[in-house]
Structure 1
Amino acid sequence: MPLWWWMVDSLLFVVVLLVLLLVGLLVRGRVIARAGGTFDMSVTRSSEAQAKGWMHGLAVYGDTELCWFRTFSLSWRPRYRFTRGEVQIDGRRDPVGDEVHAIHPGHLIVSTENPVGVKQLAMSPNALTGLLSWLESSPPGQRVNNVV
């Protein structure tokens, strides 16, 4: 078999792998989104206003925790889990400078304190309203603030 034939086979193999990777990312995203209660949310571990470090992802509400899945990952496990009661939102702001290009258009940035080390979240205004409501409420069957 000539060398050029091996190169064509190798190139075809790489293209097929890339297509399978893309299909895997799309299927994973659709399966996660079918759980319901999902929204686009970007996170960064930096507390500074800079474009570097922002990661796009999908957040999924649970009873007691908000699970965040990175968009460009094949992992079925959430990268971060924000437990209700351990997350505090400090303030909101519009993106500045290069941050405008690092997050989704129209998203607001909020500062947060939580045990997982994420310093800022970026989400749409409607998603922020939902997140604040979720943080202030309690799941069904549980008492608020342990008061009878």
Structure 2
Amino acid sequence: MRILVIVGICLAALFAVLLAVFLRRRLLMLGGGTIRLQVRVNTLVPGRGWSTGIGQFVGDELRFHRMFSFAFRPKRVLNRRTLGVERRRLPEGPERLTMPGHWVILLCHQAGTNIEIAMAESTVTGFLSWLEAGPPGQPGSVAPRPTISPRPAEN
């Protein structure tokens, strides 16, 4: 009888943890502007080190929240003003086992560090549009045209 009580308490605790993770995810996605993505957090083993999560667009920032975490603070914040995309590639080797087949990996750089982000092909288009839609003077944006002042009238 005592074993059944212990098992019941463990199952209730497990259910409470799963419910908390699910509710956190719903609260993050409530405001809209979210995407599913993976960020590479460890590069020690080739093809490994990916963390699944939710990307939340807030102003000029893409905030990465880990999928299975209790924290409401983002794990990583990517700023549109300093973020640039170097190239894109398809998953290779062990990455193909951890990602859906229609996902693309983007090699980005921000403040001198390289960051790998994986997302669905359809999401990449929206991400690149968001990146290019920033104010002038950012990586990926078109430089502003120089202003030409009119000549003074000659008498």
Is the Cα contact below 8 Å between 2:41 and 2:51 reproduced in 1? no
Q: Deviation digits for residues 54-84 of structure 1, max 9, x if unmatched?
A: 0000001111111111001011111111011
- The question of 1:19 aligning with 2:11 is answered no
Alignment size in residue pairs: 140
Structure number with greater CO (CA < 8 Å, separation at least 6) is: 1
1:75 corresponds, among 71, 76, 79, to 71
In 1, the alpha carbon distance for the partners of 2:89 and 2:95 equals 11
Which has more radius of gyration?
2
Q: Which amino acid aligns with 1:34?
A: L
Structure that is richer in strand per residue: 2
Is the Cα contact below 8 Å between 1:45 and 1:118 reproduced in 2? no
In 2, the alpha carbon distance for the partners of 1:49 and 1:94 equals 18
Any stretches of 5+ residues in structure 2 without a counterpart?
139-143, 148-155
Structure that is richer in helix per residue: 1
Is the Cα contact below 8 Å between 1:47 and 1:119 reproduced in 2? no
Is the Cα contact below 8 Å between 1:51 and 1:101 reproduced in 2? no
Any stretches of 5+ residues in structure 1 without a counterpart?
none
Task: Provide the TM-score with structure 2 as the length reference.
Answer: 0.81
Q: Deviation digits for residues 77-105 of structure 1, max 9, x if unmatched?
A: 11111011111111111101110112234
